[in-house]
Chains A and B, each alone.
Chain A
Amino acid sequence: MDLDVARELFTRAGLPVAEPDRSQIDPLLMLRLRVSNDRDTSQIVLSAALYPVSAYDTPHLDASSTTGDTVGEAVRLSIGLHDFQVRALAGALNIPENAWSDFIDLAHKLYTFHIQHDALHTSCERLALTTSNKWVVLEPRVTIDSNAYARQPAVQAVSGAPTHPEGIAAVIELPGDIACVVNGAGLAMLTIDALARSGNHASAIVDMGSSALMDKLIPALDFAQKLPHTRVVLLNCFSGFTRCVDIANAVIQWKREHLEGLPLVVRFAGYDGDEGRSLIHKAGVIGLYDAREIEEAARRAVYTARMAAHPASSSDSKDSYGDLH
């Protein structure tokens, strides 16, 4: 979530956010104060680390910018954050005692913000204690749980809901050439791993999710074909309940209507997978290729992408795809 949105949400929650022009601030202390969800323990973690005061104007801070260790306190959701935990952080960070009271108040506000907004991470990446003993958030950050958007109207009002093409479960943009249309996250990872082993990378994962495959197939292919930086579309499905024959017929018809579009490599498994693949194979549609295994589909897609990028060099490529028909 971008800085302006985070700043707006923090301000509405009463957190002391600095104006973008921070020339008036004279920091005595600089630190990072974060609230995050620990997936291993199902507890909330409040953590903090000091930066040197000179980090005030450093453009990019990371873990190596801190001075000393990160200190943290685990908070049970059923119990909530207690003052003693914040005092423990304040003591560990050598925060002057006359600033503790406001620090405790700020930590509680940050924790409450995190819970009330269904956040995954909430942080004051740069939190300054000024020489006039005021706490000021210079760099607010928040990541909201997308599963909770529906019950976060305040977040939606500020940032807008995340958008996916209709019917598509998830779109993940990546830096390669090949758009992977899949049904399931595990299959998606298996597919991009196979592409990487074959020497290329996905430009995106378009995940149709695990249900109602036939409703999502054509919108997903339409979407994948228009993705930027994409040379080939690779469709990899394990179909649990939809016959691959039906998927194949829909794919063949779609490809015949999009002969000028990107090449499409198809790999099926599951319900009538072999029959579906056979239909694709026999269809003889230009730019439509079938594969039996994921690795084979990946090699085919990588080769086809290379041909699309450098048509003249493909014939003498040492690792060209061996069994094009």
Chain B
Amino acid sequence: MAIFIDKSTRVLVQGMTGREGRSYTEQMIAYGTHVVGGVTPNKGGEWGVRGRPVFDTVRSAVNATEANASVIAVAASNAVDAIYEAIDANIPLIVCITEGIPMLDMMRLHEYLPRTNSRLIGANCPGVLSPGECSLGIIPGYVAMHGTTGIVSRSSSLLYEVAYTLSARGIGQSTLVGVGGDPVIGTSFVEVLQEFEDDPDTERVILIGEIGGHMEIEAAAYVKAHMTKPVYALIVGSSAPYYIRMGHAGALIEQDDETAAAKVAVLRDAGIRTADSLPDFYALFLAQLPTEK
């Protein structure tokens, strides 16, 4: 088992015929993901990557393929429309890789999502990967290996970095989730932690957070109140100045409680073993493992 996706997940790629869409689809199929078709308006009826059928609309694609997940790989100017189209077709899981979606558009989506049957992961995220089962998005398959550690991260590069290092040390993962680096995203840390808590194959969770926003603070409260599994956290951006966006649109300190130091303090107070550098993180994570296995 894993969270969100497994071998039975049937995947559509919205934007399959574009440059990124083709590349992402190739990677997902190479990983063994069950990609059942693509959607590109005005290209319906064509054959896409490795013989997958292309449809004009998500509705027609779902009717024909029984897809239950969609990866959005279209330009930022079309991405919001693509997300609404997937929601309209009742796709339960939507992963939006596209970056550069305006914040107000994401806020409108965020207000609407609870009234739909869909979960959105991202945007501006690398997606979800359950080692050996399924990859939705662009997480390189070789960074992961099957195991019992769940990882959730705002940053894609740090998700890869940590998973790759753990895999090299023989510590496998149940699912890797990149929730995205924008200030408003579809799925929060807390929602992913809930899934990991309920997943019998996840024994511990790593949370990779950063400056900006309050998702880590909310996660700390959730862990303290509800989680039985050990959680470890890495928070980056301890040297970041206030009011400067550090690459991610969401990595911006505007209030004192959005700094790395404030988040580390709150997470530690919730009993989460937390570091603000990679060496310290690996030291505390690896030190705990033998007693928990």
Contacts of A293 in B (CB 8 A): 278-279
| B284 within 8 A of partner (CB) | no
| A186 within 8 A of partner (CB) | yes
Contacts of B241 in A (CB 8 A): 174
Q: What is the minimal beta-carbon distance from A122 to any residue of chain B, in angstroms?
A: 12
Contacting residues of chain A (178-213) with chain B, CB-CB under 8 angstroms: 182-190, 192-197, 201, 205, 207, 210-211
Contacts of A47 in B (CB 8 A): none
Query: Is B155 a contact of A145 with CB atoms below 8 Å?
Result: no
Q: What is the minimal beta-carbon distance from B195 to any residue of chain A, in angstroms?
A: 21
Mostly, the A contact residues are mixed
Contacts of B112 in A (CB 8 A): 78
- A-B pair number, CB within 8 angstroms: 157
Contacts of B89 in A (CB 8 A): none
Query: Is B238 a contact of A196 with CB atoms below 8 Å?
Result: yes
Q: A39-B183, A42-B111, A192-B240 are in contact. Are A186 and B248 (CB under 8 A)?
A: yes
A-binding segment of B51-59, B136-144, B197-205? B136-144
| B93 within 8 A of partner (CB) | no
With most chain A CB atoms within 10 A of its CB, the pick from B101, B126, B239 is B239
- By beta carbon, the residue of chain A nearest B140 is A240
CB within 8 A of A193: which of B77, B157, B237?
B237
CB within 8 A of A189: which of B76, B142, B214, B251?
B251
With most chain B CB atoms within 10 A of its CB, the pick from A39, A43, A145 is A39
| B249 within 8 A of partner (CB) | yes
Inter-chain CA distance A271–B213, complex, in Å, is 32
Please give the residue numbers on chain A whose beta carbons come within 8 Å of chain B beta carbons, in ascending order.
37, 39-40, 42-44, 76-78, 115, 118, 120, 145, 147-148, 150-151, 169-170, 172, 174, 182-190, 192-197, 201, 205, 207, 210-211, 238, 240-241, 269-271, 293-295
- Given A186-B157, A238-B161, list of 20 further CB < 8 A pairs? A42-B110, A77-B104, A78-B111, A147-B76, A147-B249, A150-B77, A169-B247, A185-B155, A185-B248, A186-B208, A186-B236, A190-B158, A193-B236, A195-B239, A205-B246, A207-B247, A210-B138, A240-B160, A293-B279, A295-B279
Please give the residue numbers on chain B whose beta carbons come within 8 Å of chain A beta carbons, in ascending order.
20, 27, 76-77, 100-104, 106-108, 110-112, 126, 138-140, 142-143, 153-161, 164-165, 181, 183-184, 208, 210-211, 213-214, 236-241, 244-251, 260, 276-279
